[in-house]
Amino acid sequence: MALLSVAASTAPRSRAPGLARFTTVRLLITCLALAATADGVSATTSRSDEYRVKAAFVYNIARFVDWPSAAFADGGAPVVVCVVGVDPFGSALDDALQGRTVKGRPVTIRRSHDLAVGCHVVFIAFSEHKRLEDIIDRLGSTPVLSISEVDRFTQRGGIIGLTMEGAYVRFDINATAADRAKLTMSARLLALASSVRGAAGGSR
């Protein structure tokens, strides 16, 4: 089971808040990449810290996913991360993605109250839980990586579900939904997930 604690509040903040936030995000990203061999980091559970960690998860998960070439207009087109609904991240997602690349492509962020054309990653906010099935149905088989913290997200057809377990963030994968979206998940990402639905040989 891959777990990462909400550790952002332990970063030094007295001298350079901007640098501290950047260093914290880098630490969280490194922790996720090494989660297969690490037990986690002690933490607090403030809301801002929680979403700094979740923002790092969004970025790192995208790094382990391949989209079909037809999903992009050209070789230099960005990976577009869309937040649908009431954005819970504040500036955390912008901080986590600023200056980053995914598969050699720049990353841009869009926010809206409904699905938009051109998204490669869609984070569905909890505010949209009552119409989750409708959003998933509309995504259909388009090559979009859906991520959400809505309860039972992967059981309801989403691809990546983020959940809290005490002070820790974990993620589940619906491999069947990823296949339907023509997305390729790396073996390492599948190994780091807390659970995988539709994995080869059965779910775990």
Please provide the average confidence, as pLDDT, over all residues in the chain: 82
Question: Does residue 9 lie in a domain region?
Answer: yes
Q: Is the pLDDT of residue 27 over 50?
A: no
Of 13-17, 70-74, 85-89, the one with minimum mean pLDDT is 13-17
Predicted local distance difference test score (pLDDT) of residue 48: 82
Question: Does residue 127 lie in a domain region?
Answer: yes
Predicted local distance difference test score (pLDDT) of residue 39: 36
Q: Is the pLDDT of residue 10 over 50?
A: no
User: What span, in angstroms and rounded, lies between the C-alpha atoms of 111 and 139?
Assistant: 17
Token duo for residue 98: 């600023």
The residue ranking higher by pLDDT, 188 or 35, is 188
The residue ranking higher by pLDDT, 149 or 27, is 149
Predicted local distance difference test score (pLDDT) of residue 3: 53
User: What span, in angstroms and rounded, lies between the C-alpha atoms of 160 and 177?
Assistant: 9
Predicted local distance difference test score (pLDDT) of residue 78: 98
Question: Does residue 119 lie in a domain region?
Answer: yes
Q: Is the pLDDT of residue 184 over 80?
A: yes
The residue ranking higher by pLDDT, 60 or 19, is 60
Q: Is the pLDDT of residue 200 over 80?
A: no
Question: Does residue 204 lie in a domain region?
Answer: no
User: What span, in angstroms and rounded, lies between the C-alpha atoms of 58 and 160?
Assistant: 9
Mean per-residue pLDDT for 127-154? 97
Q: Is the pLDDT of residue 17 over 50?
A: no
Question: Does residue 18 lie in a domain region?
Answer: yes
Per-residue pLDDT tens over the stretch 158-178: 999 999 988 889 999 999 999
Predicted local distance difference test score (pLDDT) of residue 22: 37
Question: Does residue 97 lie in a domain region?
Answer: yes
CA-based nearest residue to 159, from 176, 135, 143, 140 = 176
Structural domains of the chain, count: 1
Q: Is the pLDDT of residue 58 over 70?
A: yes
Predicted local distance difference test score (pLDDT) of residue 169: 92
DSSP assignment, residue 18? H
Q: Look up the domain containing 88 and give its range.
A: 4-197
Question: Does residue 89 lie in a domain region?
Answer: yes
Per-residue pLDDT tens over the stretch 31-56: 444 343 333 333 345 778 899 999 99
Mean per-residue pLDDT for 53-80? 96
User: What span, in angstroms and rounded, lies between the C-alpha atoms of 87 and 104?
Assistant: 26
Question: Does residue 202 lie in a domain region?
Answer: no
